[in-house]
């Protein structure tokens, strides 16, 4: 079994020779796997004392005085990898940025008293094809498959194919809305899925912008109401709106507001706008770039803009994660910002409120997973790539029971049905080359 982490190192350097400017080379990197940041990865410059550790967002920073250097990247779950950065990389740099992609192979460990390959972990879909994405709807499973061409396949829970159609290569994912409708999404469009007269159909094409404005905001569907989610003020103001199905009347169910962070974001956004105007003005102003000082100033200001925009986008403007979820015929607001679990009736009346604190734990992954039966909720935690699911007691807000997905690091798209956790994992070994399979593990 093999698994690869992906590392993107952004090296901010001058295009001119260091000897001309006498400046150090800034190195900024992000370590991630399957779109999840990797915390506590070590990045060391060999034969030097400089060392960086990735933060919760997988980001690290380094400075070097000269090239060539060797970066040694290590992680507790991975084999060590060395990357050499040379003057040739500087010459190939585009817009003063060198992109280096590193793949770390995980270290397979045998732990006493723990079987990592136990019988309770098995393939949930046994057909030979790489799975791009999957969804579970009722007693059926839907797959986007790739084996040179792309296919959309419908099966039962025992992997028996019901129907299959070939689809375009730009299909990227499946999306199940809160009305239990299924959609196939491409780079710019959405198609609703139907099964009619024993055949799969993709109908009602809609541009992705409209889809995101109309479908994405729906977070809960009850017999009497729809509940919509909207963000404002740099994603730090979250409001839930109740829409009565009969009268179409809209009322505010509740709001969550991080006022301090919204003010910080507003200041940072305005600063980036001013910085961008300054850089554009400099680029549009004719002056002799052969002069060292002129080029140095422009590069410094451009790097400030890049860093400011990246920080605003990746850190500051992340939306508040306080989901409203329909479970056991009640609505539950997981208000992680204020530390409350609020219970509402289907008509939007507040019934109960309990304190929660699992969101303050170090390895909290900021994700709540609801089983397909809509009866249980799990908080997701991740450490060293290994995921632990903790069931949340909806009566008290406390967690109970730890379920470790022990065989695979960084599993993707976890879903829970009939007491099993389903997830995608890409195998990289001699028998299964770069194929992503669907696995399931019994939650005991």
SS (H, E, C) 209-273: HHHHHHCCCEEEECCCEEEEEEEECCCCEEEEEEEECCCCCEEEEEEEECHHHHHHHHHHHHHHH
Mean per-residue pLDDT of the chain: 79
Q: What is the mean pLDDT of residues 35-52?
A: 74
pLDDT tens digits, 316-349 = 678 899 999 999 999 999 999 999 999 999 999 9
Residue pair 225/242 in contact (Cβ under 8 Å)? The answer is yes
Higher pLDDT, 30 or 416: 416
Of the pLDDT bands very low, low, confident and very high (cuts 50, 70, 90), residue 20 is very low
The percent of residues in the chain predicted with pLDDT above 90, rounded, is 45
Total Cβ atoms within 10 A of residue 211: 20
pLDDT (0 to 100) of residue 365: 93
Residue pair 37/410 in contact (Cβ under 8 Å)? The answer is no
Q: Is the pTM of this model over 0.95?
A: no
Residue pair 200/214 in contact (Cβ under 8 Å)? The answer is no
Q: What is the mean pLDDT of residues 438-442?
A: 92
**Any idea what the Cα angle at residue 232 is, between residues 317 and 352, rounded to 5°?**
100
One DSSP character per residue, 6-54 reads EEEEEEE--SS-HHHH--PEEEEEEEEETTEE-TT-EEEETTSS-EEE-
Q: Does the structure show a pLDDT above 90 at 31?
A: no
Q: Residue 59: is the preceding peptide bond cis (ω within 30°)?
A: no
14 exposure class (CB count in 10 Å sphere: 0-12, 13-18, 19+): buried
pLDDT tens digits, 371-384 = 999 999 999 999 88
**Whole-angstrom distance, CA of residue 58 vs CA of residue 40:** 8
Number of H helices and E strands in the chain, helices first, is 5, 33
pLDDT tens digits, 250-268 = 999 999 988 777 677 676 6
């Amino acid at each position: 079994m093999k698994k690869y982490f992906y590392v993107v190192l952004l090296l901010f350097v001058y295009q001119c020779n260091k000897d001309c400017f006498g400046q150090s080379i800034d190195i900024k990197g992000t370590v991630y796997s399957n779109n999840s940041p990797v915390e506590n990865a070590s990045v060391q410059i060999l034969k030097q004392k400089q060392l960086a550790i990735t933060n919760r967002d997988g980001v690290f920073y380094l400075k070097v005085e000269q090239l060539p250097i060797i970066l040694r990247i290590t992680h507790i779950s991975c084999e060590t990898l060395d990357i050499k950065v040379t003057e040739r990389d500087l010459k190939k740099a585009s817009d003063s940025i060198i992109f280096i992609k590193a793949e770390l192979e995980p270290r397979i460990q045998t732990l006493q008293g723990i079987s990592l390959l136990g019988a309770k972990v098995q393939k949930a879909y046994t057909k030979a094809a790489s799975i791009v994405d999957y969804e579970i709807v009722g007693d059926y499973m839907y797959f986007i498959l790739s084996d040179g061409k792309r296919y959309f396949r419908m099966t039962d829970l025992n992997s028996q194919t019901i129907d299959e159609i070939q689809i375009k290569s730009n299909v990227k994912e499946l999306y199940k809305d809160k009305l239990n409708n299924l959609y196939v999404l491409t780079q710019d469009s959405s198609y609703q899925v139907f099964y009619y007269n024993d055949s799969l159909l993709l109908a009602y094409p809609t541009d992705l912008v409209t889809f995101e404005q109309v479908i994405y905001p729906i977070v809960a569907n009850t017999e009497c109401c729809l509940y919509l989610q909207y963000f404002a003020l740099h994603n730090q103001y979250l409001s839930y709106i109740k829409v009565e199905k009969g009268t179409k009347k809209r009322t505010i169910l509740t709001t969550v507001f991080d006022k301090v962070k919204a003010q910080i974001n507003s200041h940072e956004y305005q600063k980036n706008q001013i910085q961008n105007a300054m850089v554009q003005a400099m680029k549009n102003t004719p002056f002799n770039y052969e002069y060292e000082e002129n080029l140095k100033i422009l590069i410094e200001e451009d790097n400030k803009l890049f860093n400011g925009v990246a920080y605003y986008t990746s850190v500051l403007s992340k939306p508040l994660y306080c989901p409203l979820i329909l479970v056991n015929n009640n609505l539950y607001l997981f208000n992680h910002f204020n530390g409350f679990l609020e219970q509402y009736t289907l008509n939007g009346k507040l019934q109960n409120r309990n304190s929660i604190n699992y969101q303050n734990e170090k390895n909290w992954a900021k994700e709540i997973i609801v089983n397909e039966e809509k009866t249980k909720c799990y908080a997701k935690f991740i450490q060293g790539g290994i995921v632990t699911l903790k069931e949340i007691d909806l009566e008290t807000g406390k967690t109970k029971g730890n379920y470790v997905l022990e065989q695979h690091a960084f599993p993707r798209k976890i879903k829970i049905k009939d007491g099993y956790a389903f997830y995608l994992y890409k195998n990289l070994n001699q028998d299964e080359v770069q194929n992503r399979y669907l696995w399931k593990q019994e939650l005991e």
